[in-house]
Each structure stands twice: as structure tokens, then as C-alpha cells.
């Protein structure tokens, strides 16, 4: 599993305005497109879907053609998680790209199914969402490489449960400074505590953005 995020220098994923803050630059968006194309599925949290209304596609035609030439689907599976079940059928997520899958909890499953109809497969993983079960179900569906594109609530849980093989952090030269805005990671007991150092796999300059790649499970 790859966790991917773009942050400001002060660790925010967005600002507090209703419009999505563009943190990356064109070259970095192209890099993200390549990572998306290399994955079997892409996951985002329901709040990111409601707030940003992304299509979450592989945008490059050449990358999509490459997938098809390898016998893969043109687009990765798109996945989201919700506890509330508050997912409008009008969101762009459902109307672009390939197959869609929603993980939810028992209480919300009927609502989500009724709202979405044929737009997505809906799987309830019990009274509470268990990430182990989510990953097992994705595995059964042929997903071996999953890209998680946030937001911070999702990233925090997956980092705290030590489920990410790689962390891709694109640091943009911006300062947000708004405590009500979404942060990349929130409060949690992270594995190894405050002194555990993740292994740095790569630091790459992409115009004015720096990409840091870490292996979170390889700590010293
Ligand atoms: N810069 C970037 O790379 C980047 C990428 C993505 C997002 N963002 C930004 O991040 C912000 C949104 O982040 P966020 O942290 O507020 O929200 P989020 O992580 O996108 O989504 C949180 C939602 O996911 C569902 N969820 C999370 N954990 C769950 C669990 N264990 N069980 C069931 N459902 C669960 C819940 O949906 P329900 O509320 O429906 O129950 C929860 O409210 C936006 O501002 C967006 O622009 C930035």
C-alpha cells in the first residue's frame, strides 16, 4: 500500500476555504498520474469526495493505453470508505473511470446501496470499519497494489495501524497556517513512538516541490 499526499511546508493538505488548494505543480501531478496508473486501486475518504468532488482518474491517455496493453483495466478500481453513508449519487467519482467500490459499516450499508444503485459495489465490513477486512476484500478482488490519496483522517488511521508499505509525500513551498484546515496526519500513537525513524527511500526535486519517499514499516 502506498500513501500519497501533497502538503504545505507546515503540514496541511488543504486550506480552510471551500476551494481545493493546489499544492503540487504540473510535473508532480504527472508523477502522481504515473503512480495511479501503476496501481490496481485508488482509495480516498468520503470527506475528500464530498469536499473536492474529484474524478480520480488516470489522466494520461498513454498511461491508460499502457495498462490495457498489459491486459489490465483501463482505469484502476476506485474505492472509498464511509461511516455516515452520506455519498450523493451526483458526485463525479461515480460517473468517470472504471469500477467503483464503497466500504461501509452495517448501519449505513442499506442507505449507501439505495443511494448509489448500480453506480458502485457496496461492502459492509461489520459494525465498525476494520482496515484488515478492507484490505482482505481488496485482495480477493485482485488488488495487490493500492494507492491511498487521503485525506488526513484516512492517512492517520493507516499510518497508526502500520499498514503502509510506502509513503509518498510531496512538500510544496506554501504555508497555510489555518488550524481549521485538514492536516496530513493527526494525533495518534504511531508505531515505535516519537523516536522511531522511518527509512528514507528517495528525495527528489520536482521543480519547486520535493518528493520524499519513505518505507514506514522499516524503522530504526
Ligand atoms: N493534498 C492532498 O494530497 C489531499 C489529498 C486528499 C484530500 N485532501 C484534503 O483533505 C481534506 C479531507 O480530509 P479529511 O481528513 O477531512 O477526510 P478524509 O480522510 O478524506 O475522509 C474522512 C471520512 O472518511 C470516512 N472514514 C474515515 N475513516 C473511516 C472508518 N474507519 N470507518 C468508516 N468511515 C471512515 C468517514 O466518512 P463519513 O463522514 O462519510 O462517515 C470520514 O468522515 C480535504 O480538505 C481535501 O482537500 C488533500
Distance from Cα 153 to the centre of ligand 1, integer Å: 5
pLDDT of residue 149: 98
Distance from Cα 56 to the centre of ligand 1, integer Å: 14
pLDDT, one tens digit per residue, over 162-171 is 999 999 999 9
pLDDT of residue 76: 98
CATH 3.40.430.10 assigned to domain 40-144? The reply is yes
Cell numbers 464530498 correspond to 50
Would you say residue 219 has pLDDT above 90?
no
pLDDT, one tens digit per residue, over 105-159 is 999 999 999 999 999 999 999 999 999 999 999 999 999 999 999 999 999 999 9
The protein residue whose alpha carbon is closest to atom 33 in ligand 1 is 83
**What are the boundaries of each domain within the chain?**
1-39+163-220, 40-144
**What letters, b where the CB count within 10 A reaches 16 and e where it falls short, cover 55-84?**
ebbbeeeebbeebeeeeeeebbbbbbbbee
Lining residues, ligand 1, CB within 6 Å: 5-6, 13-14, 20, 23, 44-48, 51-52, 81-84, 86, 129, 149-154, 157, 182
Task: Indicate the average pLDDT of the chain.
Answer: 97
Distance from Cα 98 to the centre of ligand 1, integer Å: 21
Distance from Cα 30 to the centre of ligand 1, integer Å: 23
pLDDT of residue 67: 98
pLDDT, one tens digit per residue, over 172-197 is 999 999 999 999 999 999 999 999 99
pLDDT, one tens digit per residue, over 17-60 is 999 999 999 999 999 999 999 999 999 999 999 999 999 999 99
β-partners of residue 210 are 171, 205
Q: What pLDDT band is residue 220 in, cutting at 50, 70 and 90?
A: confident
pLDDT, one tens digit per residue, over 61-89 is 999 999 999 999 999 999 999 999 999 99
User: Ligand 1, from 18, 150, 169: best to mutate by most atoms within 8 Å of Cβ?
Assistant: 150
Report the C-alpha gap between 81 and 92 in whole angstroms. 16
From the options 3.40.430.10, 3.40.50.800, 3.40.50.300, 2.60.40.420, give the CATH code of 1-39+163-220. Answer: 3.40.430.10
User: Ligand 1, from 93, 154, 174: best to mutate by most atoms within 8 Å of Cβ?
Assistant: 154
Report the C-alpha gap between 183 and 160 in whole angstroms. 15
Report the C-alpha gap between 52 and 50 in whole angstroms. 6
The protein residue whose alpha carbon is closest to atom 43 in ligand 1 is 47
Distance from Cα 74 to the centre of ligand 1, integer Å: 26
Radius of gyration of the chain (CA): 17
pLDDT of residue 86: 98
Amino acid at each position: 500500500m502506498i500513501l500519497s499526499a501533497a502538503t504545505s511546508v507546515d503540514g496541511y493538505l488543504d486550506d480552510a476555504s471551500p476551494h481545493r488548494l493546489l499544492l503540487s505543480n504540473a510535473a508532480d501531478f504527472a508523477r502522481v498520474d504515473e503512480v495511479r496508473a501503476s496501481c490496481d486501486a485508488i482509495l480516498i475518504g468520503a470527506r475528500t469526495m464530498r469536499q473536492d468532488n474529484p474524478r480520480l482518474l488516470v489522466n494520461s491517455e498513454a498511461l491508460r493505453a499502457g495498462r490495457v496493453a498489459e491486459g489490465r483495466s483501463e482505469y484502476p478500481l476506485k474505492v472509498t470508505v464511509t461511516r455516515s453513508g452520506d455519498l450523493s449519487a451526483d458526485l463525479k467519482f461515480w460517473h468517470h473511470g472504471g469500477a467503483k467500490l464503497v466500504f461501509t459499516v452495517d448501519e449505513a450499508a442499506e442507505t449507501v446501496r439505495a443511494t448509489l444503485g448500480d453506480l458502485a459495489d457496496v461492502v459492509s465490513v461489520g459494525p465498525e470499519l476494520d482496515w484488515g477486512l478492507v484490505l482482505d476484500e481488496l485482495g480477493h478482488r485482485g488488488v495487490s497494489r493500492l494507492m491511498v490519496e487521503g485525506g488526513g483522517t484516512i492517512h492517520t488511521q493507516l499510518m497508526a495501524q502500520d499498514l503502509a508499505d510506502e509513503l509518498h509525500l510531496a512538500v510544496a513551498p506554501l504555508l497555510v497556517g489555518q488550524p481549521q484546515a485538514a492536516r496530513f496526519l493527526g494525533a495518534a500513537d504511531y508505531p515505535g513512538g516519537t523516536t522511531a525513524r522511518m527509512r528514507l527511500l528517495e528525495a527528489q526535486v520536482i521543480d519547486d516541490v520535493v518528493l520524499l519517499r519513505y518505507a514506514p514499516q522499516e524503522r530504526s
